[in-house]
Amino acid sequence: MIDPITLAVLKGRLEQVADEMDATLFRSAFNPIIAEAHDASHGLYHAVTGETLIQGKSGLPIFVGAMAFAVKAVIDKAVRDGDLKDGDVYIFNDPYDGGTHLSDFKLVRPFFRNGKVFCYLASVGHWHDVGGNVPGNYNPVATECFQEGMVIPPVKLYVAGQLRQDVVDILRANTRLPDSLYGDMNGQVNALDLGSKRLHALLDEYGDATVDEALAELKKRAAIQFRSLLRDLPDGRYAAEDFLDNDGIRDEALRIGLEVVIEGEALTLDFSRTSDACAGPVNIARSTAIAACYVAIKHIFPDVPANSGVLEPVTFIIPETSLISVKAPKPVGGYTETILRVIDVIFEAFAQIAPDRVNGCAYGTINALSLAGHRRDGRRWVMFSFFGGGHGGHPQGDGLNHGNAPISMATIPPLEILEAAYPVMFTEWSLRPDSGGAGRNRGGLGAVYEIELLEEEADLFLFGERGKYAPAGVLGGHAALRNRFVYPKDGKLVEPGMVSKLHDAKLKKGDRIRLETPGGGGYGPPAERKAEKIAEDLRLGYVTKEGATRDYGRKAKEAAE
Amino acid sequence: MTNQSSIPRYAVGVDVGGTFTDVFFLDEAQGRIDIAKVPSTRGDQATGFIEGLRSKAEPKQIATVVHGTTVGTNALLERKGARTGIITTRGFRDVLEMRRRDRPSTWGLWGQFVPVVPRDLRLEVGERVLADGTIRQAVDPAEVKQAAQELLAHGAEAVAIIFINAYANAENERVALTALREVWPNDYVTASSDILPEIREFERTSTAALNAYLQPPVGSYLRKLESRLQGDGFTGQFLIVQSNGGVMSVDSAASRPVRTALSGPAAGVIACQHIAVAAGFPNVVTCDMGGTSFDVSLIAGGEPAMSAQTAIDFGMVVRAPMIEITTIGAGGGSIAWIDRGGILQIGPESAGSDPGPVAYGLGSDRPTVTDANVVMGRIDAERPIGGKLKRLDVEAAREAIRKHIAEPLDLDVMAAAEAIIKVANSRMAGAIRLVSIERGHNPRDFAAMPFGGGGALHVGALIKEVGLASALVPRFPGVTSALGCVIADMRHDFVRTVNRTLDDTDPVILDAAIAEAAGEGGRLLDQAGIAFEGRAISVELDMSYLGQTHTVAVPLSGDFSVPVNLTREGIKAAFETAYAAAFGRVLDRIGIRVLNLRVAAIGKRKKFDLALLAPPTEGTVEAAKRTTRQVWLEGAWHEAGIYRRLDLPLGAVIPGPAILEQSDTTILIEPDLVGEVDRFGNLVVKRKAI
């Protein structure tokens, strides 16, 4: 058996390999969604099952779970074809096998030692544009994946170390931004090359058998660790539900219904009460749903490791008809919104199970906003960005103002970079008063972004959520303010028919659009909020007088005086 | 050390740390050195500073005092800066608080952030500059004055003006600044285009706000020191070390205190650079092991690696050229623990200095790295460093390791102590790999150079684990930063955002911008009134392929003290060289962008002869040997010789296992290593020849 010292040392060494792959791609990527927002991930995966063995610390949290499915899809393909070679790199974006959505391109490389696959290395990154009807690929009215972008099944990008230029040519021909795609793809290849080099050096130093044993042991320990955490939780059945506004096609709410069952060291996540698959793009594949559950678990229990062992004690019940278990060609482009809701319901359920470990729901929508047009000289421009909101109140204090989504560590591009690159001018970039849910510990504030178009014309798209169903508070905490978007139409500022989803609106020079994002939900009853905290909120303008009076009543009046 | 026959003339370096104030004295008249270590005086660093200085020299004998200060860093970490206001563009007062929409940790959503300028002290005025520099709305001076009055009425002592796109055109900020100065009662005023004329509003806002926040405490501290020095008869130069490793005048430091954020550690790296290069080691990784953290910096080809920004704490971003210091949470006080999966972990929780390690006997029962060192006999329990404690409690340390580590892992106590050291070493090795191997350097070309108190115990293991060639332990590891103060050059940095494609960049405009910055740098060097040995201008461009947001630093070669004629071809070639070095390949047919121009003006200060650090030429190894002690290494007790390090003569060769002691550090030479004293008093530790 591997000794405890070598195990602890190898754990750090292996994580460093994955971390370095992350860092290499972040520095060399072309599109800001990877370079600035870190919407990418790298890791080591099991040679037979594809399970996550080691994941980089800086990659997007959702990929920890999702990439195991992606690697398994490649393994299945390689087994079918029987032609796996050292130096092969597979590339694909099929979300039904590989999880998430079409924008995420996965590069998977078998790592050979002595003629045998020791493990797989993989890199995933969110490309700027992969074709489809909408620049940036958040098509809020897609009813099939073909309207969302190109669909590439696992194919070889490299055969035994030789690049297949024809594959690159096909990819380049299917995007609005071929240089960006080419640059990102090269960055991912760089990361795989580097990971391979580092892993060979590590295996040479410690021996293949020892590292193999360490990987197996780390998985086992992760399972032990999570089981011991589960053992401390009270047995029982706990229900929670939350809703998506609509699917972008029909304005009907969609339920994510969850029952959590704790039985000794076992955890069951039962999504039977979830709505059936919908026409629009807020469906997700089963692999994505499981990955989302993993993200929530890791937020509630941050110390559990990032490997597949954690999922061993977990049973998933997800009906095949459900909107979180769809197959091709159901549209899945808005997967971020659905997984955020899956994470929210898990928080809401765990508030009943482990109140000292949870927080109010975060803002719960990424608000993918796309403005696109042509410059006077004919060049195409696409500004595509995600926006922030508040985090939930938590046992230690108020929620963070203007944080990133729980599924990612993405940062927002500087507005000065956006203004320098695109014909837009921001007229406001501020915190949104009253947007945090009231509570003993208040939710953090969402934001207001107002943008004016400086070029003659542009097309406008938005893919958001939480326009009808606000981020919930927990343990008596109030909900946050809802998402709100307005744009000019026929001389008036209006909200989209689908609330936070808008397709193909036209803007003219001087038009302004305004996005107001949700805060986070509150934690604990507002009646327990200290008067001096309310007074401070008023002084700093985090809450308005009206908001405070509504939420805190008489206490607010005293605080104001 | 006074001498009646000639009047000493000192250059003095003073490094004020959390526990001790270190002073390095160079008597330039007589060619002698001395060091002093006095307790730091918390809350009033000036008192410890003056005491340390006066312990060995009279202020009137001092020609130059150079100070590495942590006053700024501490004020940031403890949020003890001034009550500060911001005047900014209407619609943008929350930029400081909204950050770049991030959170402190990947997992867990309990982050919190309190900006240094509260929301009610961030006021907006009408004005707007576009990204191309066009003024869409001019600022109204009367509105600025009104905002200033409001800030004053709310008790603000310092203020920053921060306008959107001010990097592209500073006119509105300049107008606002003039108006502001008419009503602001002091000099604690910062304009963002002055402190950082660079694109990215949050980074510029944070840097400008932190600068204003630090002006009162750092300014008043430095003024107070200056006047106390002068009151004591000091008439020489008083200089401050910046984070970039260069020194600046007190006036510059008082107006740009944010540039002192890493003052102390930067001075240590500068000292290492100088000592290592002189000793024939142009490539080193410096390692500073403290109580809670382990800091590493890379020096390659004799030059320290620089970074463009750092975060002092979550959301407290300082963007300014600085010596790159990579920190991990593994120090002597880091706590060892077993996680629920049964895996041994070190840190990030630390026992700090109070209660400190179990062996300190101050009430902690959770074992630390230091406790493992004590149990293994690597630290002498009877002679603790620092002199505050009489002896260390070995039994308590053993008991803590037995209970918390040995029993859960089913190891005996000594194996458990060794496991703690191995895992801690492995984490520190990871930090060294990060700055060396991960930056494309070959570890065999590098030496590890520990400074500060703790590193020398671990450095032997580190060179073996990372595959470094050797370790270089300077003669006075504990006062390295103070020594660096005496060595540091004067340096002024300038940045200007270009943000154009290379094809659209006019080399003539770049030439002019370089000349302007070089001229301004020259003026600042002139004003310092120092006789420099030489001057240099270095020029760098931040460049990328079109579409990338991260840039690579592209150094341009040439003599920039005279007018230059840059060409696009020359710039492109320099970019491709830098890009290939960073990522292994260049890309065809993709446009190239020039984001920023960076110019540094350097005034080279006279260096003292490091031979002054030379070891004694007389004496023997035997005479330096104090005793022997049992030390646990590689699974067994070894009888190790214990030596007084400073008594070891030039050329002394000490094979491991051995321990070398001096007042401020302990050096361990492991059984398979050997140490040799070089002509500058450094100890060079290498693998034994087989």
DSSP for A236-300? EEEEEEEEES--SSS---EEEEEEEEEETTEEEEE-TTSPBP-SSTT---HHHHHHHHHHHHHHH
Tally Cβ neighbours within 10 Å of residue A209: 10
ipTM score for this prediction: 0.94
The answer to whether the beta carbons of residues B495 and B259 sit under 8 Å apart is no
B2, pLDDT greater than 60: no
B387, pLDDT greater than 70: no
Distance separating alpha carbons of residues B373 and B315, to the nearest angstrom: 36
| Total count of residues recorded for chain A | 561
Structure tokens at A467: 């326009």
CB-based contact A425 B128, cutoff 8 Å: yes
Per residue in B417-461, pLDDT (tens digit) is 999 999 999 999 999 998 888 877 889 999 999 988 788 999 999
Which residue does chain A place closest to B437, by CA atoms?
A198
For testing contact with chain B, the best of A14, A30, A350 (most B CBs within 10 A): A30
Q: For strand B158-162 and strand B20-27, is the pairing parallel, antiparallel, or unpaired?
A: unpaired
Structure tokens at B343: 């895996």
Question: Looking at residues B669-677, what average pLDDT do you find?
Answer: 96
Which residue does chain A place closest to B419, by CA atoms?
A5
- Determine the pLDDT at residue A512: 98
Residues of B in contact with A362 (CB under 8 A): 109
For testing contact with chain A, the best of B328, B462, B549, B588 (most A CBs within 10 A): B549
Coil, helix or strand at residue A79: helix
B28, pLDDT greater than 90: no
CB-based contact B111 A359, cutoff 8 Å: no
Distance separating alpha carbons of residues B194 and B184, to the nearest angstrom: 18
The answer to whether the beta carbons of residues B477 and B451 sit under 8 Å apart is yes
Return the higher-pLDDT residue of B48 and B188. B188
Residue B475 contacts A where some CB pair is shorter than 8 Å = no
Structure tokens at B676: 């040799």
Which residue does chain A place closest to B406, by CA atoms?
A4
For tokens 């285009």, the residue is: B193
The rounded percent of chain B whose pLDDT value lies above 90 is: 71
A–B interface: beta-carbon pairs under 8 A: 210
Residues 26-65 of chain B with CB under 8 A from chain A are: none
- Determine the pLDDT at residue B6: 55
Residue A165 contacts B where some CB pair is shorter than 8 Å = no
Distance from CA of B488 to the nearest CA of A (A): 32
Which residue does chain A place closest to B112, by CA atoms?
A400
B192, pLDDT greater than 90: yes
Residue A163 contacts B where some CB pair is shorter than 8 Å = no
Distance separating alpha carbons of residues A185 and A107, to the nearest angstrom: 9
Distance from CA of B239 to the nearest CA of A (A): 36
Residue A240 contacts B where some CB pair is shorter than 8 Å = no
CB-based contact B200 A4, cutoff 8 Å: no
Distance separating alpha carbons of residues B419 and A123, to the nearest angstrom: 34
CB-based contact A447 B98, cutoff 8 Å: yes
Distance separating alpha carbons of residues B163 and B158, to the nearest angstrom: 17
Distance from CA of A94 to the nearest CA of B (A): 26
- Determine the pLDDT at residue B74: 86
Coil, helix or strand at residue A64: helix
Q: How is B35-60 classified by DSSP, letter by letter?
A: EEEEE--TT-HHHHHHHHHHTT--GG
Question: Looking at residues B376-399, what average pLDDT do you find?
Answer: 87
Residue A377 contacts B where some CB pair is shorter than 8 Å = no
Helix axes A178-206, A4-28, angle to 10 degrees: 160
* Burial classification of residue B44, based on how many CB atoms lie within 10 Å of its CB (0-12 exposed, 13-18 middle, 19 or more buried): exposed
Residue B409 contacts A where some CB pair is shorter than 8 Å = yes
Q: For strand B122-125 and strand B84-89, is the pairing parallel, antiparallel, or unpaired?
A: parallel
Spans of chain A below 70 pLDDT = none
Structure tokens at A182: 């080419």
- Determine the pLDDT at residue B113: 96
CB-based contact B550 A35, cutoff 8 Å: yes
- Determine the pLDDT at residue B388: 66
Q: How confident is the model at residue B288 (pLDDT cuts 50, 70, 90)?
A: very high
Distance from CA of A148 to the nearest CA of B (A): 23
The answer to whether the beta carbons of residues A339 and A407 sit under 8 Å apart is yes
The 10 Å CB-count burial string (b at 16+, else e) for A246-260 is bbbbeeeebbbbbbb
CB-based contact B343 A359, cutoff 8 Å: no
The rounded percent of chain A whose pLDDT value lies above 90 is: 84
Coil, helix or strand at residue B510: helix
Residue A294 contacts B where some CB pair is shorter than 8 Å = no
Cite the DSSP H helix spans in B185-244.
192-195, 201-231
B99 vs A11, A402, A413: nearest CB: A402
CB-based contact A388 B549, cutoff 8 Å: no
Residue B411 contacts A where some CB pair is shorter than 8 Å = yes
The mean predicted confidence, pLDDT, of chain B is 92
Distance from CA of B541 to the nearest CA of A (A): 17
CB-based contact A5 B99, cutoff 8 Å: no
Q: How confident is the model at residue B482 (pLDDT cuts 50, 70, 90)?
A: very high
Q: For chain B, what percentages of helix, strand and coil (3-state, to nearest 5) are there?
A: 35, 30, 35
Please report, for chain B, how many H helices and E strands are present, in that order.
Answer: 18, 33
Which residue does chain B place closest to A431, by CA atoms?
B94
Per residue in B41-93, pLDDT (tens digit) is 877 888 889 999 999 999 999 999 999 988 898 899 889 999 999 999 999 99
- Consecutive H or E run containing A72: helix A62-81
Instruction: Find, among B632, B643, B626, the residue nearest to B671 by Cα.
Output: B632
Question: Looking at residues B555-580, what average pLDDT do you find?
Answer: 91
What is the sign of the dihedral through the CA atoms of B346, B352, B355 and B357? positive
Residues 550-569 of chain B with CB under 8 A from chain A are: 550
Distance separating alpha carbons of residues B138 and B151, to the nearest angstrom: 22
Structure tokens at B690: 């087989």
